[in-house]
Amino acid sequence: MPLKAILPHTYTHLTGEDRRRESIFKEKNCLEAELRSRLRRKKSKISNMSKRGILERLAEGVVIGDGGFVFALEKRGYVKAGPWTPEATVEHPEAVRQLHREFLRAGSDVMQTFTFYASDDKLDNRGNEAASKHSGAKINQAACEIAREVANEGDALVAGGICQTPSYLSGKTKAEVQQEFRKQLDVFIKNDVDFMICEYFEHVEEAEWAVEVCKEMGKPIAANLCIGPEGDMHGISTGECAVRLAKCGADIVGVNCHFDPFVSLEAIRLMKEALDKEGLKPYLMCQPLAYHTPDCNKQGFIDLPEFPFALEPRLSTRFDMHKYARQAYDLGVRYIGGCCGFEPYHIRAVAEELAEERGCKPKGSEKHGVWGSELRMHTKPWVRARARRNYWESLNPASGRPYCASMSKPAAWGITQGHKHLTQHTEATTTDELSELYSFKS
Amino acid sequence: MPLKAILPHTYTHLTGEDRRRESIFKEKNCLEAELRSRLRRKKSKISNMSKRGILERLAEGVVIGDGGFVFALEKRGYVKAGPWTPEATVEHPEAVRQLHREFLRAGSDVMQTFTFYASDDKLDNRGNEAASKHSGAKINQAACEIAREVANEGDALVAGGICQTPSYLSGKTKAEVQQEFRKQLDVFIKNDVDFMICEYFEHVEEAEWAVEVCKEMGKPIAANLCIGPEGDMHGISTGECAVRLAKCGADIVGVNCHFDPFVSLEAIRLMKEALDKEGLKPYLMCQPLAYHTPDCNKQGFIDLPEFPFALEPRLSTRFDMHKYARQAYDLGVRYIGGCCGFEPYHIRAVAEELAEERGCKPKGSEKHGVWGSELRMHTKPWVRARARRNYWESLNPASGRPYCASMSKPAAWGITQGHKHLTQHTEATTTDELSELYSFKS
Amino acid sequence: MPLKAILPHTYTHLTGEDRRRESIFKEKNCLEAELRSRLRRKKSKISNMSKRGILERLAEGVVIGDGGFVFALEKRGYVKAGPWTPEATVEHPEAVRQLHREFLRAGSDVMQTFTFYASDDKLDNRGNEAASKHSGAKINQAACEIAREVANEGDALVAGGICQTPSYLSGKTKAEVQQEFRKQLDVFIKNDVDFMICEYFEHVEEAEWAVEVCKEMGKPIAANLCIGPEGDMHGISTGECAVRLAKCGADIVGVNCHFDPFVSLEAIRLMKEALDKEGLKPYLMCQPLAYHTPDCNKQGFIDLPEFPFALEPRLSTRFDMHKYARQAYDLGVRYIGGCCGFEPYHIRAVAEELAEERGCKPKGSEKHGVWGSELRMHTKPWVRARARRNYWESLNPASGRPYCASMSKPAAWGITQGHKHLTQHTEATTTDELSELYSFKS
Amino acid sequence: MPLKAILPHTYTHLTGEDRRRESIFKEKNCLEAELRSRLRRKKSKISNMSKRGILERLAEGVVIGDGGFVFALEKRGYVKAGPWTPEATVEHPEAVRQLHREFLRAGSDVMQTFTFYASDDKLDNRGNEAASKHSGAKINQAACEIAREVANEGDALVAGGICQTPSYLSGKTKAEVQQEFRKQLDVFIKNDVDFMICEYFEHVEEAEWAVEVCKEMGKPIAANLCIGPEGDMHGISTGECAVRLAKCGADIVGVNCHFDPFVSLEAIRLMKEALDKEGLKPYLMCQPLAYHTPDCNKQGFIDLPEFPFALEPRLSTRFDMHKYARQAYDLGVRYIGGCCGFEPYHIRAVAEELAEERGCKPKGSEKHGVWGSELRMHTKPWVRARARRNYWESLNPASGRPYCASMSKPAAWGITQGHKHLTQHTEATTTDELSELYSFKS
């Protein structure tokens, strides 16, 4: 089918279609907001309860999430690509804290605990020894402390985070999988996180199991699948996935990771249609990749030949994020954040695009001119000539790579839960096992 | 002229031409090196003199530089694009310190003070008020303290840094320009930096003026121009520039910024030829962009339409950096670092490529598998199948941008020192001045 | 939606997925076929009836169509882009005859009369004066004579051709539109063409009107719409279009023009599904563009910014055509030809790919080595090294255009029958009318 | 070296830099020219001498050449890629005649005999049996007859053509190589061609040998090498090649084939500089490829992976040819034609661009609107909106190939005259020889 025709809402980058918003951004006096925040922060030293809760905030306006920790910290030197586990909370808390601060400064309303893949079965999977070295509980605990510390430097909430487990992929029972979740939840309960995010699930079934356990906490729950418009890995449609998540108790429903902002919004559009049809009204949430993925199949960027070390050319600009934020907002998404590839400046762009709606620009905007406006201070006149929205909005950036194509063919091994190659174990992958894999045509 | 033919040494990315090095990296026992370093660090609390100096290190082997602070900190929210000044050393020292630490961990042997554009005339140029708010001296002082603190967490040296000035661009006299440099040097002298880097000069004449002033300090001096193979902005050939810098006293000569690694190495090749012809033997240094710039003209990436906010697609992968490090080393470059776009993981890749030559892998490699080797811990079998050099070395990454071209046409305003639009002043650029610039065809 | 995922059957060019056919082509002894043909040709001087009819041929095997006359003859200098009318049959019969011969030699089984847009209302539309100068009847008559002459040089059939009319676009009545068709049919009847092709209709309704009139002739009828997978210009689905054409009496149903081979086959797949559901079994026909159009919307290549004078970079190679022919055949298409952009060598590639199925290679293969085999006679050794299928099948050709993107955004004016700008008239378009059009954002 | 910077005169396609010529083309009254031509044609039936000679024409203005016969006729089905020999003059004279006519109609002033590679040693090289079947003399004779016949249908001249020989590549003596040329020249003398073109030589030495023999005829001589800015295959600079050709007696000097128009003009610029320095004033001639080759090395398009069967995406548009014609004219080139890839419409574009300078549009323009002007007759309004120069001049056409890169890496075997793999022989290449070649990395 003609590629372009199918994607009316997505791959129409930076055409001036939303020129209707051309009215220059009016820098509102943010003093009032700042004062409110300071007051709250003061109080919060006594009790976190003084902050408005996530559902209250969503009811009133738009909430900005944070960006991707594993990718950002891998590039900074604290997370290992492969296992992708968050023992940095114990090993290098200063690095994790700094990244939280940068997102806070960029406009994030939520500090999500850096507990991705921090279930015990994953921390010691395939030769990784993060749990053996530090214990899962300790890693989760450190994450909660850092998140709360930084959250209290502003008006942000703390969200506990859990995600899919090797146990599920390996075909363990519901009870076994939920047991893995419970070990993390014990820590979140002890630390009184403000709400839970169940995120990065490829199978809606496992996400339901997670939500079910979280319900026991009595906190608001967000549930995101890492899927696109083609549905989950078991072939359940995107719309049905959303309906199931809402029905099992998620207050906020959406997608994260695996696809770029525009493909992800297409997935959410399908979710919204199905939810509307059922009369369900959870809040919508989107935390996509910052990488362009027009060429992915159902498995998302994991299947791209460039994953995970050669995705650079696909990285979004800040202007792509303006467009993403606007389209997400117009679609009705009220929790707008990012995942892998999202650096603080991407979140800042989201916050700047929605500054009018939020009544305030992010703190970090003191070092940034929206749509390049501060380039008027540049030394070179032709760069000063770029200090305007129109210049950046109509620019199609070159790749600088004349020997590279613009799209890739995904690996498309097409295997999922139940396949022998997906069974996880604590022992390291052997050389023989690797040789067998190398021999497959990728 | 056929584009390809001209660039035999540059744009031949990732063809397995250097397969001769295919011998798997032997993880040397780094214990000895670590012990030496600890011993030195202990001593260094008494005296920095106990560390080997930069010339000693260059004589013995290869020195790894750091990456670009202004671009990295702009993305993290602490530097404003446009003025690009480093008042973050005063405003957010924790952010500057963290970035230094990440480069140290990635393998950098030198902590370059974050004093780029920290001359008084630049700090208050065109409406920027960094000096008025903080004073230039304070900004430079804070930079020295942070750099020394982190340098002493490892075996790194501290280099003071100065660069080109608005005074020169505006046609001020030699005495006036050198006066600007001296104000910064006072701080570097007081802090007893280990050596000086005069970097980011577009005109060799101004670089000579800088080296001349630095000579008064009695420390080793590195001098880099931000030029490519076409020479400086006054039309002086790249080779002659190098000869002039060596003759006026620079111990280390090279290029930084403005061009990608491969174009920059072509510039250094020209420098080397000219230096050899004159019998001059300074050490060679290279700190290029991490952005691919096959399409630049003499002015470098400043002229690209994507500068500075849409360069993302041009960002190098870690494997590009392996290639860069190897080619630089083979060409005889002994000070190998980076500039704008270089993130810690890019420097780590340089250090990993040269690990055998240096006898040690960087600290940060504990969280990284060279050539993707730690992907053997990945959950998905097809990603485990990428845990090998051959896969990554032969990959040509897609841009993910089917509506974008691979090369851009530079703005090419072709103006330099002396042109009225290059005269700098403390007042902000007016709207009328901007309108005039907008009306030019960019 | 992820672009790649949607097109499993289409944009997977040249991935050796069909390596199962790697068995080298066995050059069958074609003597028998040649003898049969000569015998028939001899007889045919007495009566055309001696040739097997189109339906007989389709029942027995695969029929190869010809390529696009208007585009090929525009490039040769005999057709004017804009009106696209075929008065060359009268003005330069030798040029039309030569092109017919080339297609015959390339393997075409059908000589389609060059009567595209040869209805009287089109011949004198918008300042064109082809009918005024030559009369429509004369143009159609000359086309029949040339087609028959060349058909009889081989074993080919003659198909009369009619297509959509300005009358329909301008909202004329069914009777008026059919009257236009009848004027052409009078000539086809007089010349006793072997069958009729109603082709290049954007609205299935007009195609039905055409088929209805052709039924009066008592000859087999093929009916092709110039649509893709998104249906006709009135929003009728592709599947329903096919069902309607079959129900109104077309023996052969399919698509032509407007989309590339792979998108066109996707349209035919939808047609086949709908026909199967209804239990209808017309033969399937495909005559697509030779231009790659992954980026088209519903309107096809007419909407691409490159139409009609900058389509060169999109032109298919002969190897694309091997793939097209194979996929078409596997899908069940039995009438396989081409439209705009198809040159004789593209048709030859189709005939060569299906040589085993047809029991014979085309005459023109005496000057061609399948899959590059005759490159073994090349002077340069590295070109001789390309004399093999594997080399060509795995090659992704570069565009040679580093300043161009790979996909375009269609104009998407989105207007169709009934819109005032589509009303046709004999008078030339005025400068004022053109100015109005220029002012639209294209 | 920065790719873009090196090519200021070449790869700046379709930027409106030459807007100064925006004044709409004034269709001159060509009646006078037509009358002159008819008068001459009438006389020419008595004597060819009545036509102005090539040098006379060049002195007075610009001469338009023709396009590439081997590539065009390969696509039409009459020439075999690999040997590339012109036995079609005997086997299918009607096809050769038609192509001549199309070029005449497009504006060509010269009918170049289709005698490329028609030396006896090439006609029977490596298993080709063209000479054995038809005799070289017969092939050359037929070419002369066809060329003269069509030349006399207009005011065109006939040029005999010879090119490089297998004998030279195989290291035969000067006498042996010249003997091959003499056999062809006998035919040209007998047919009294108007002048000679020695074209497609990779080594200036062989071209000198050819010119030397041609001098014996007493006719004007054009000599073109198939080289680019990097010189001939023996490493002789482009400038020196031109000087040597002029010194040995060529009246017209230039390049043909192997590179695109813009790289070829860069080669001619170097030739001109060298000729000027020596005070030599031959006329300049250019007959480049119609394929974009920004990525070639010294060996030209023969080295590109796409040669010869996947060059389609590189094909120039008619608007590229406008640009080529203008730049060639401005550089002082007075014989402007084309080679491989040039179809009649490309030559028509050259003739239309230079219509003012020549005082007449080509005959074929009766079926063509310059800069798309006749699109005002198109049915669709948005295509009528493209009936203007500005639209086409600023369009950067997409490749339609999102999985393909924009540049290729040449094969670069780097071997030339004297290498064993370049030795030619009459026997076919054996399977073993091919296997050896296949094993090389291409």
pLDDT digits (tens, 9 = 90+) for A116-127: 999 999 999 888
Same domain? For D254 and D387 the reply is no
Nearest to A98 among B94, B399, B400 (CB): B94
What is the pLDDT at residue C441? 58
Nearest to D406 among A3, A402, A407 (CB): A402
A81: closest CA of chain B, how far (Å): 7
The whole-model pTM stands at 0.91
Residue of D nearest to C80 (CA): D367
Q: Which of A105, A347, A379 has the most B C-beta neighbours within 10 Å, making it the best mutation to test the interface with B?
A: A379
How far apart, in whole angstroms, are the C-alpha atoms of residue B31 and residue A170? 39
Q: Would you say residue B39 lies in a domain?
A: no
Q: Would you say residue A274 lies in a domain?
A: yes
- Has residue B9 got a pLDDT over 90? no
Residue A420 pLDDT level (bands cut at 50, 70, 90)? confident
Q: Which residues of D touch B3 (CB under 8 A)?
A: 3, 6-7, 11, 294-295, 407
How far apart, in whole angstroms, are the C-alpha atoms of residue B120 and residue B179? 10
For chain D, percent of residues with pLDDT exceeding 70: 88
Supply the range of the domain harboring residue B133: 47-361
Amino acid identity, position A257 = C
Q: What is the DSSP code (8-state) at residue D340?
A: T
What is the pLDDT at residue C35? 53
CB contact under 8 A, C403 and B403: no
Contact residues, chain D to chain B, C-beta under 8 Å: 1-7, 10-12, 15, 228-230, 259, 263, 266, 293-298, 396, 402, 405-407, 409-410
Same domain? For C74 and C151 the reply is yes
What is the pLDDT at residue C32? 47
Same domain? For B91 and B154 the reply is yes
Alpha-carbon distances, residue B13 vs A161, A173, B369, D307 (angstroms)? 40, 48, 21, 22
For chain B, percent of residues with pLDDT exceeding 70: 88
CB contact under 8 A, B376 and A429: yes
Chains B and D form CB pairs within 8 A to the count of 88
Q: Which residues of D touch B410 (CB under 8 A)?
A: 4
What is the pLDDT at residue C42? 55
Q: Which of D226, D377, D423 has the most C C-beta neighbours within 10 Å, making it the best mutation to test the interface with C?
A: D377
Same domain? For B168 and B287 the reply is yes
CATH number at D319 reads 3.20.20.330
- Give the domain-ending residue among B311, B334, B361: B361
Average pLDDT rounded to a whole number, residues D58-84: 97
Residue of D nearest to B404 (CA): D398
Q: Is the CB of residue B65 less than 8 Å from the CB of residue B328?
A: no
For chain C, percent of residues with pLDDT exceeding 70: 88
- Give the domain-ending residue among A307, A337, A361: A361
Chains A and C form CB pairs within 8 A to the count of 87
Subunits in contact with chain A (3 or more CB pairs closer than 8 Å): B, C, D
Residue of C nearest to D128 (CA): C377
What is the pLDDT at residue D164? 97
Q: Would you say residue C236 lies in a domain?
A: yes
**What kind and span of H or E run contains B112?**
strand B110-112
pLDDT digits (tens, 9 = 90+) for D13-55: 323 333 233 333 333 334 444 555 555 555 555 445 579 999 9
- Has residue B414 got a pLDDT over 90? no
- A283, A402, A398, A293: which is closest to A340 by C-alpha? A293
Mean pLDDT value across chain D: 90
Residues contacting residue D125 through CB under 8 Å, at least 6 positions apart: C377, C379, D83, D166, D424, D425, D426
**Is residue B226 part of an annotated ligand binding site?**
no
pLDDT digits (tens, 9 = 90+) for C276-294: 999 999 999 999 999 999 9
How far apart, in whole angstroms, are the C-alpha atoms of residue D295 and residue D311? 13
CB contact under 8 A, A345 and B76: yes
Q: Which residues of C touch A229 (CB under 8 A)?
A: 1-2
Q: Would you say residue C2 lies in a domain?
A: no
What is the pLDDT at residue D4? 37
Mean pLDDT value across chain C: 90
**How many structural domains are present in chain D?**
2
What is the pLDDT at residue C50? 74
What is the pLDDT at residue A23? 30
CB contact under 8 A, C1 and A7: yes
- Has residue C213 got a pLDDT over 80? yes
In angstroms, the first-to-last Cα distance of chain A is 25
What is the pLDDT at residue D18? 33
Q: Which residues of B touch C402 (CB under 8 A)?
A: 3, 295, 405-407
Q: Would you say residue D407 lies in a domain?
A: no
Mean pLDDT value across chain B: 90
D429: closest CA of chain A, how far (Å): 33
What is the pLDDT at residue D25? 32
Hey, is B225 helix, strand or coil?
strand
Residues contacting residue A190 through CB under 8 Å, at least 6 positions apart: A141, A144
Average pLDDT rounded to a whole number, residues B336-340: 98
pLDDT digits (tens, 9 = 90+) for B18-52: 323 333 333 333 444 445 555 555 555 544 557 99
Q: Which two tokens stand for residue D269?
A: 């610029």
What is the pLDDT at residue D17? 33
Residue A413 pLDDT level (bands cut at 50, 70, 90)? confident
B330: closest CA of chain D, how far (Å): 18
Average pLDDT rounded to a whole number, residues A162-169: 96
pLDDT digits (tens, 9 = 90+) for C185-197: 999 999 999 999 9
What is the pLDDT at residue A397? 97
pLDDT digits (tens, 9 = 90+) for D187-205: 999 999 999 999 999 999 9
Q: Would you say residue D4 lies in a domain?
A: no
Average pLDDT rounded to a whole number, residues A270-276: 98
Residue B413 pLDDT level (bands cut at 50, 70, 90)? confident
CB contact under 8 A, D295 and B409: no
**Is residue B198 part of an annotated ligand binding site?**
no
- Give the domain-ending residue among B343, B361, B379: B361
pLDDT digits (tens, 9 = 90+) for C292-312: 999 999 999 999 999 999 999
Q: Which of C386, C420, C432 has the most D C-beta neighbours within 10 Å, making it the best mutation to test the interface with D?
A: C386
Q: Would you say residue A31 lies in a domain?
A: no
Chains A and B form CB pairs within 8 A to the count of 342
Same domain? For C274 and C387 the reply is no
What is the pLDDT at residue D68? 96
Helix segments in B92-228, DSSP class H: 93-106, 120-123, 130-134, 136-151, 166-169, 174-190, 204-215
Q: Which residues of C touch A298 (CB under 8 A)?
A: 2, 5
Same domain? For D118 and D156 the reply is yes
D135: closest CA of chain A, how far (Å): 46
What is the pLDDT at residue A20? 31
For chain A, percent of residues with pLDDT exceeding 70: 88
pLDDT digits (tens, 9 = 90+) for B86-109: 999 999 999 999 999 999 999 999
Compute the CA torsion angle B31, B34, B35, B40 (nearest 10 deg). Answer: 170
Average pLDDT rounded to a whole number, residues C41-56: 69
Q: Which two tokens stand for residue A19?
A: 């020129």
Mean pLDDT value across chain A: 90
D295: closest CA of chain A, how far (Å): 10
CB contact under 8 A, A404 and D404: no
Residue of D nearest to C79 (CA): D367
pLDDT digits (tens, 9 = 90+) for C341-362: 999 999 999 999 999 999 999 9
Same domain? For A313 and A379 the reply is no
Q: Would you say residue C73 lies in a domain?
A: yes
**Higher-confidence position of D126 and A224:** A224
- Has residue A14 got a pLDDT over 70? no
For chain A, percent of residues with pLDDT exceeding 90: 81
Q: Which residues of A touch C230 (CB under 8 A)?
A: 1-2, 5
Same domain? For A121 and A198 the reply is yes
D74: closest CA of chain C, how far (Å): 8
Same domain? For C279 and C233 the reply is yes
Same domain? For C281 and C307 the reply is yes
Residue A7 pLDDT level (bands cut at 50, 70, 90)? very low
A63: closest CA of chain B, how far (Å): 20
**Is residue B360 part of an annotated ligand binding site?**
no
Same domain? For A214 and A239 the reply is yes
B337: closest CA of chain A, how far (Å): 16
Subunits in contact with chain D (3 or more CB pairs closer than 8 Å): A, B, C
CB contact under 8 A, C228 and A297: no
> For chain A, what is the HEC assignment?
CCHHHHCCCCCCCCCHHHHHHCCCCCCCCCHHHHHHHHHHHHHHCCCHHHCCCHHHHHHHCCEECCCCHHHHHHHHCCCCCCCCCCCHHHHCHHHHHHHHHHHHHHCCCEEECCCCCCCHHHHCCCCCCHHHHHCHHHHHHHHHHHHHHHHCCCCCEEEEEECCCHHHHCCCCHHHHHHHHHHHHHHHHHCCCCEEEEEEECCHHHHHHHHHHHHCCCCCEEEEECCECCECCCCCCHHHHHHHHHHCCCCEEEEECCCCHHHHHHHHHHHHHHHHHHCCCCEEEEECCCECCCCCCCCHHHHCCCCCCCCHHHECCHHHHHHHHHHHHHHCCCEECCCCCCCHHHHHHHHHHCHHHHCCCCHHHHHCCHHHHHHHHCCCHHHHCCCCHHHHHCCCCCCCCCCCCCCCCCCCCCCCCCCHHHCCCCCCCCHHHHHHHHCCCC
- Has residue B2 got a pLDDT over 70? no
**Higher-confidence position of D295 and B6:** D295
Average pLDDT rounded to a whole number, residues A234-246: 97
CB contact under 8 A, B408 and C407: no
- Comparing B139-143, D71-75, D369-373, D411-415, which segment has the lowest mean pLDDT? D411-415
Residue C43 pLDDT level (bands cut at 50, 70, 90)? low
Same domain? For A356 and A379 the reply is no
Q: Which of C404, C406, C407, C409 has the most B C-beta neighbours within 10 Å, making it the best mutation to test the interface with B?
A: C406
pLDDT digits (tens, 9 = 90+) for D356-374: 999 999 999 999 999 999 9
CB contact under 8 A, D399 and C406: yes
CB contact under 8 A, C3 and A230: no
Phi/psi of residue B22, nearest 5 degrees: -60, -20
For D92-117, the DSSP string reads: -HHHHHHHHHHHHHHT-SEEE-S-TT
What is the pLDDT at residue B30? 40
CB contact under 8 A, B313 and A311: no
How far apart, in whole angstroms, are the C-alpha atoms of residue C343 and residue C349? 10
pLDDT digits (tens, 9 = 90+) for A367-412: 999 999 999 999 999 999 999 999 999 999 999 999 999 999 999 8
Contact residues, chain A to chain D, C-beta under 8 Å: 3, 295, 401-409
